[in-house]
């Protein structure tokens, strides 16, 4: 029996002073919590660990209590790829605008160049390869940033895979990255400008108060 992961019907906006505050919580795909074992398989050529956040130098989780850590040494390129397979769950991309994920670059050697194609996703859906680059690469280390991949044109349903979340154009061959809160997002008008989104914590929810960087 497959469990359908559905998308939230709306995104809520409100004003806080001069800045627009947006709830980008979306519809979850992966939070890397222990209860996801068995359904979610995550693999990479690098060392992967599911770790509790805010313990032993691990950053606070942006959703739930755990994060996914990737660490590597002497990587070629380097090019880091993380594969996700859901064994019991499926998700739909029809009417979805973005796949979002929170990224924490822990070492300067792993900070991608500011080119938008330095962080991307690719996957075989409907027997065809699809690729989407992120709209804003994390600009600094030791902070959570949300990156988004536009999937507005991918009207596929009953999917259970993201073949690669990819990081490239990094200055060093060693590094550490944390990711959390992989999710789907629908925005009201179907489009969103290129923005840099820093995660700010507020209670059990994280809110993104973006400063706009139009290209």
**pLDDT digit string (tens) for the chain, length 215 residues:** 345 544 433 333 222 233 333 445 568 999 999 999 999 999 999 999 999 999 999 999 999 999 999 999 988 778 899 999 999 999 999 999 889 999 999 999 999 888 767 999 999 998 889 999 887 788 899 999 988 899 999 999 999 999 999 999 899 999 999 999 999 988 866 555 444 557 765 432 333 333 322 22
The CATH number for 26-208, chosen from 3.40.390.10, 3.90.950.10, 1.10.10.10, 2.60.120.260, is 2.60.120.260
Looking up tokens 């222990």, which residue turns up?
34
Token pair recorded at residue 212: 């706009």
Q: Using CA atoms, how far apart are residues 8 and 123, in angstroms rounded to an integer?
A: 23
Closest-CA residue to 86 (of 182, 162, 1, 7): 162
Task: Give all strands of the β-sheet with 119-125 in edge-to-edge order.
Answer: 40-43, 80-86, 161-167, 119-125, 128-133
Taking each continuous run of H as one helix and of E as one strand, the counts in the chain are: 0, 18
Provide φ and ψ at 116, rounded to 5°.
Answer: -65, -25
State the sign of the Cα–Cα–Cα–Cα dihedral 107, 110, 116, 119. negative
């Amino acid at each position: 029996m497959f469990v359908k992961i559905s998308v939230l019907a709306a995104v809520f906006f409100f004003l806080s002073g001069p800045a627009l505050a947006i709830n980008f919580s979306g519809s979850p795909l992966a939070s890397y919590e222990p209860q996801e074992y068995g359904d979610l398989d995550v693999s990479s050529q690098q060392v992967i660990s599911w770790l509790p956040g805010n313990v032993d130098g691990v950053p606070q989780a942006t959703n739930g209590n755990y994060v996914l850590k990737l660490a590597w040494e002497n990587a070629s390129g380097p090019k880091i790829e993380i594969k996700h397979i859901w064994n019991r769950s499926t998700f739909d991309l029809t009417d979805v605008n973005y796949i979002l994920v929170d990224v924490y670059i822990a070492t300067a050697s792993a900070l991608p160049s500011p080119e938008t194609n330095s962080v991307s996703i690719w996957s075989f859906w409907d027997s065809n390869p699809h690729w989407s680059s992120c709209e804003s690469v994390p600009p600094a280390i030791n902070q959570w940033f949300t990156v988004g991949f536009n999937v507005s044109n991918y009207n596929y349903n009953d999917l259970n895979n993201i073949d690669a979340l990819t990081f490239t154009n990094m200055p060093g061959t060693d590094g550490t990255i944390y990711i959390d809160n992989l999710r789907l997002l629908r925005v009201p008008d179907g489009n969103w400008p290129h923005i840099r989104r820093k995660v700010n914590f507020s209670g059990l929810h994280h809110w993104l108060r973006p400063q706009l960087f139009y290209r």
